[in-house]
Copies of this chain bind each other. A is one copy, B any other.
Amino acid sequence: MQLHKPDVVDAATAILDNYGIADLTMRRLARELNVSPGALYWHFANKQELLGAVADRILQPVRTEPTAPAWPGQIHQICVALRDALLSHTDGAELVSSSFAAGQSELATEIVAQLAGAAQRAGVIPPDDELAARTVLYYVLGFTADEQSRLQWDAAGALTDDQSVLNRDTSRQFAFGLQLLVDGLAVRGASTLGAARDMPQRSRD
């Protein structure tokens, strides 16, 4: 029977979940699908494009309009959903991170747009809104990649107790860094929102 893109992405995701990103190779994937390696290149231009498709599969659950009424809640919502999505796949953060950097994940770009919207509602005006959005994304990707790699060291069994990610409340830690950014956003937003009152620098000019 014929090979279709979604089948390929399914198989790739299965390898990722079960063996990790190091084992997600074109040849291994072809073997799993009972095709020759060359067959994959009919459907995907190269490995990066395929990884981008896997990244978009991972980010699918994040694809939802935020329901929170105010912008801080919206940012929390998006970021928590994002971290959850990344944590549900082995090396998820690493894969999405590099796909985003390579500009191969459409959904990552969409998430940036949504975060930028929240930043605007916080009072950050273009083009700073996108900058703020990217800053938030860098944080979530960096934090989660770190968390996930520690989890792997942990599973491998070579980590002292105070390094163990299990003994620390990572969700609380994640929220702390996120709050840092939300607070910063509030300050930055307030400085450009009419309210020149109690803002000493450049009140009117």
Contact = CB atoms under 8 A, between A and B. Distances in A.
Complex copy number for this chain: 2
A176 interface: yes
Contacts of A183: 183-184, 187-188
Contacts of A128: 176
Given A139-B138, A142-B141, A142-B142, A185 B180 contact: yes
A134 B177 contact: yes
Contacts of A188: 179-180, 183
Contacts of A131: 173, 176-177
B149 A143 contact: no
Nearest to A139: B138
A138 B142 contact: yes
A23 interface: no
Contact of A143 (B134, B153, B185): B134
Contact of A138 (B101, B143, B173, B184): B143
Contacts of A55: none
Which of A101, A132, A179, A185 is packed against the most chain B CB atoms within 10 Å? A101
Contact of A180 (B102, B142, B146, B181): B181
Interface of A: 94, 101-103, 128, 131-132, 134-135, 137-139, 141-143, 145-146, 149, 153, 173, 176-177, 179-188
12 contacts: A101-B149, A131-B173, A132-B176, A134-B177, A135-B143, A138-B139, A138-B142, A138-B143, A138-B177, A141-B142, A184-B185, A187-B187
